[in-house]
A and B are shown apart, each in its own frame.
Chain A
Amino acid sequence: MSRKTIGIVLVALALLALPLVLTQVGTAWVRIANLAILFIFLSLGLNIVVGMAGLLDFGYVAFYAVGAYTWALLASPHFNLHLPFWAILPIGALFACVAGALLGAPTLRLRGDYLAIVTLGFGEIVRIFMNNLSAPFNVTNGPKGITRIDGLAVGGLDFRATDRFLGIDFTGPAKYYYVLLLLLLFVIAVNLRLQNSRIGRAWVAIREDEIAAKAAGIDTRNVKLLAFAMGASFGGIAGGMFAAMQGFVSPESFVLHESIMILAMVVLGGMGNVWGVIAGALLLSFVPEFLRYTVEPAQKMLFGRLLVEPEVLRMLVFGAALVLTMRFRPAGLWPESWHKREMREGEAA
């Protein structure tokens, strides 16, 4: 076996064992791992729009919301619909796609700051819609949100309950973890394949120089719309899984802060590079949680009382990390160009 194969096997084993280890520490950590995977979906989706096609999007969380509400409405007592997951996830992705195209179509001529402003507005509009679509027809149940959403159920397997298998207890979150891991493999494969394809190259070409891309024969209008739609679809999938896991959705989960967070993951990790973006998403998902669990005890031990709220400190560290990245690694921790050089050296070796 080559070293590469051994490496892949070891990583796979570690990923498979992770929830069992985390369960020992606390089920909360398995939930955090699950959310981290959702954030990978989201940041990979946004990476298509921002990282590859270079279209600055501040309202990406809207597609997450569309996916979550699609699942919530199609699998809850709210409309008394209980569709199976294999129907809802594609529908959610499709709705998000349509929402992406709806955002893309009127903003085709905008770039940079102007596009950022419009997308920011779009994100807010979607959230406000969710907040207010409770009258005259109660679609979203307003700020109260939708409760008692069906979890994921495959055949007779209910992903909420704990199952005993081979003498090991698999909790609900642990089981979700495996589903998400499977989806993650799919999402990464799709992104890698898109990145190295005719369409992926066209996206990057538009980012690099839109006029040259046009002159080289790219129909920039269609290709940009495609970027918006494809990027959004990943948000839709992540949203669906989020609703299933939480069992509850409300508009306040889809605020601007979330959009900025996802954008920060893409930028921090390295725009345009799938692996960099994944690293960024993991880092920004885990580090704040880690701080949350360590800062409070640490302060109590040192000062005897809580001086700075963990939440405040989190944002401080977060902001400092971003500033430092922009100062020392403006292309992200693992930029696209590095990745290309590594690929080339790999080919030559």
Chain B
Amino acid sequence: MTVLLAADNISKRFGGVQALKDVSLTIRAQEIYGLIGPNGAGKTTFFNVLTGLYTRDSGTIEFAGRPLRLGSPHKVAQAGIARTFQNIRLFGNMTALENVMVGRHVRTHAGVFGAILRTRAQREEEAAIRRRAEELLVYVGIGQRAGDLARHLSYGDQRRLEIARALATDPQLLALDEPAAGMNATETAALRQLIEGLRADGLTVLLIEHDVKLVMGLCDRVAVLDYGEKIAEDVPETVQRDPRVIEAYLGGQVGDGAH
């Protein structure tokens, strides 16, 4: 399998806190890759470094064979990495459809003059944006909510909408930050189906998740962060038995059992 993303020795420090210390990991094309770890282990920091919201102190990231430059999140989106947020960040006063249409921004070109003059190219592009956004809403299962304001959607639908907006940027890698947080069992099961469907459609998924059952059942490979360091990276079965992982989660030796 080809490597899609290779992060090499990523470090990030906030004042006295070493949030990430020489983290290296590789994500292969079309796999579901889980990133887990106790609270404060640096998972979200890694996401923010990866998607350009934070600048990294050192290390390199190569994506789809090209080095990913520092900063500018919109360039990361352009390169083909899309993300969602741990605490959902939607455009609350825009409709669900408009939220997804914003995601098409990076793949479209119409400027101010096109909009003012309503040129043929602009109108066609606008229609294509709308069509694609409608498709994506249906794809994630909230097609009937297109006209509702994002802030009026239910929690689960907001999560789905955020995924639809991310998908609108035509990503190769979709990074989901705790998508199942706050979901009940039914919603989690539906989410799992959605993520598996994404992979079946050719996407690579990077998943931060606290729900260990979901991660272990869904991911092809899992990396574990603890205090900013990667302590394990392997298939779920192996990671589950890793004594360092057990120690990180449970704090010291508690027998041999995985859970």
Contacts and interface: CB of A to CB of B under 8 A. Distances in A.
Interface in B191-209: none
A197 B122 contact: yes
Contacts of B94: 201, 204-205, 208
Contacts of B83: 215
A214 B73 contact: yes
Contacts, number: 109
B40 interface: no
Q: Which of B77, B101, B110 has the most CB of A within 10 A?
A: B77
A212 B105 CA distance: 13
Interface string B98-127: 100111111110111011101000100110
Interface stretch (A13-21, A77-85, A218-226, A293-301): A218-226
Contact of B102 (A201, A226, A230): A201
A103 B92 CA distance: 28
B23 interface: no
A218 B115 contact: no
A211 interface: yes
B172 interface: no
Nearest to B171: A217
A336 interface: yes
Contact of B90 (A197, A212, A220, A336): A212
A340 B95 contact: yes
6 contacts: A190-B116, A197-B114, A205-B102, A208-B91, A214-B52, A217-B105
Interface of A: 190, 193-194, 197-202, 204-205, 208-209, 211-220, 226, 230, 272, 336-337, 340, 344, 347
Query: Top 10 nearest A-B pairs by Cβ distance?
Result: A217-B106, A217-B77, A197-B115, A208-B91, A212-B89, A214-B73, A344-B147, A205-B102, A219-B74, A198-B110
Interface of B: 51-53, 72-74, 77-78, 82-83, 85, 89-95, 98, 101-108, 110-112, 114-116, 118, 122, 125-126, 129, 147, 149, 165-166, 168-169
Given A216-B82, A217-B107, 12 more contacts: A190-B116, A198-B108, A202-B102, A211-B53, A211-B89, A213-B91, A214-B73, A215-B51, A217-B78, A230-B112, A344-B147, A347-B147
